[in-house]
Amino acid sequence: MTDSDDRRKVEARIRQCYSSWAQSYFDDYYRGQGAYPPVHVDIVRDLLRKRAPRTLLDAGCGPASMLRSLTDLGCELYGFDLTEEMVIEARRVMAGAGVPQDRLWQGSVAGLHD
């Protein structure tokens, strides 16, 4: 078995896990009162405000969990996620912010080096 085969098996398990979670993921983790508050959002926003990038890519964007909070920064937003359902939800959410659907796609960070 090759590394590529192993990666495909792991990615299939990840897609299976997240495929039914796309619509509630943001509420579960970003709006919930759980033990893991999304403090990273404020950290990333502060860094982006200081750097003022023209474009931003969120690798593993899920349902645009981070991207949806960055629409006011004036940069072109892009994202990809391993799970098709997460991408569908990200496109739905970001359409309201005027982000073109082709800026959100299905892809894998693990495959970037291939």
Q: What is the mean pLDDT of residues 50-74?
A: 95
SS3 114: coil
Question: pLDDT tens, 33-46?
Answer: 665 667 788 899 99
Question: pLDDT tens, 1-50?
Answer: 677 888 888 888 888 877 777 778 777 777 766 656 677 888 999 999 99
Q: Which helix (H) or strand (E) holds 92?
A: helix 84-95
Contact 61, 80 (CB under 8 A): yes
Q: Helix 84-95 to helix 3-18 angle, to the nearest 10 degrees? A: 50
Task: Read off the amino acid at residue 33.
Answer: Q
- First CA to last CA across the chain, in angstroms? 17
The tokens of 50 are what? 């200081």
Pick the closest to residue 18 from 54, 55, 52, 65 (CA basis).
65
- CA gyration radius for the chain? 15
